Amino acid sequence: MLTRFRVDAAAAGGRLDACLHGLDAPGLGPLSRQQARRLCALGAVARNGVRAAATARLHAGDEIAWAPDLAALTLQLDVAVAFADADVVVLHKPPGLAVHGGPLVERSVASALARALPGAGLAQRLDREASGLLLVGRDAAALRALGAAMEQGAIDREYLAVVAGVVAADARTIDLPLRITDEPRGDRPKTLVDPEHGQPSRSHVAVEARGRSCTLVRVRLETGRTHQIRAHLAAIGHPLLGDPRYGDAAANAAARATFGIDRTLLHGARLVFPAPGTGARIEVAATHEPDFARLFPQLAGHR
């Protein structure tokens, strides 16, 4: 669904929203400057594989990627849409946006769905500070089918994460039972490794790139416990960078001071799931986040 094009010499030096202005999107017609600016703000436009701001200055040869067919739905939901058909919507959630509402939550994915797509519901979870792909069923039947697929292990979920420290092994499976507890606060669950009382939990971890003091890893979930990735990576001595609950305070402070990292660096990068009704395999990949690319510039130009 993505449309890609290269920035030519005539557009070099201009802003990203100006480059999109006037391009045609089904249901919207030629994009206004305001619509182009809003699509960029929602994370629906990438430059060289990385989500880019409307004010980004372009260079000749930059690759711009966006989904014209999904632009109207993105603006309707006020959340970037990475895929949509009659049964399913895949959202690209930005960091900081809550999935569910609450007393101190002004805006959430759930409230956006209730407003723009009544009857739709979330088929998976994603922490508030995490970014990336979220699977949504448009109606009860689609949600039942997706729920059954999740229970059967037929939905592949891959995440990119930046962890503190340099991971030695290129690949490993973390097979540690996890138990969810309400400690230290009754309204905030925390997940602990508990070989005696925990539920079976497996995460497959592969190193994508190594930095001087951190590592970019790809994590594939075999099970889906609350905070599984955060708890598992912390348990092997490499907590997520920026994670205030499971992380390393000194590493987090250094990343904040040096790179401006102010959130947990976890990103839902890839989803593969069977289409409700037909069972056809659908694969959706997310664009990268700017804070990941600041730590690992090689991500620019790759998905």
Quick: pLDDT tens for 104-149. Answer: 778 899 999 999 999 999 999 899 999 999 999 999 999 999 999 9
Answer whether 46's CB lies under 8 Å from 85's CB. no
Domains and CATH numbers, the chain: 78-299 (3.30.2350.10)
127 labelled catalytic: yes
The predicted pLDDT at position 139 comes to 96
Instruction: Kindly report, residue by residue over 20-40, the tens digit of the pLDDT.
Output: 999 999 999 999 999 999 999
The predicted pLDDT at position 296 comes to 96
The predicted pLDDT at position 154 comes to 94
Q: What are residue 18's phi and psi, to 5 degrees?
A: -65, -35
Retrieve residue 212's tokens: 């001087």
Cis peptide before 195 (omega within 30 of 0): no
Q: CA-CA distance, 130 to 119, in Å (whole number)?
A: 25
Q: What's the mean pLDDT when you consider all of the chain?
A: 93
Query: How many alpha carbons fall within 13 Å on the CB side of residue 213?
Result: 10
Q: What is the mean pLDDT of residues 77-93?
A: 97
| Cα-based angle 116, 122, 123 (whole degrees, multiple of 5) | 145
Alpha-helical regions (H) of the chain: 16-20, 33-41, 68-77, 109-116, 140-151, 228-235, 249-259, 290-295
The model scores a pTM over 0.95: no
Instruction: Kindly report, residue by residue over 167-217, the tens digit of the pLDDT.
Output: 999 999 999 999 988 655 545 678 889 898 989 999 999 999 999 999 999
Q: Choosing from 17, 87, 127, 248, which is the catalytic residue?
A: 127
In the chain, pLDDT over 90 holds for what percent of residues? 86
Residue 221 confidence (pLDDT) above 70: yes
Q: Which residue has the higher pLDDT, 188 or 267?
A: 267
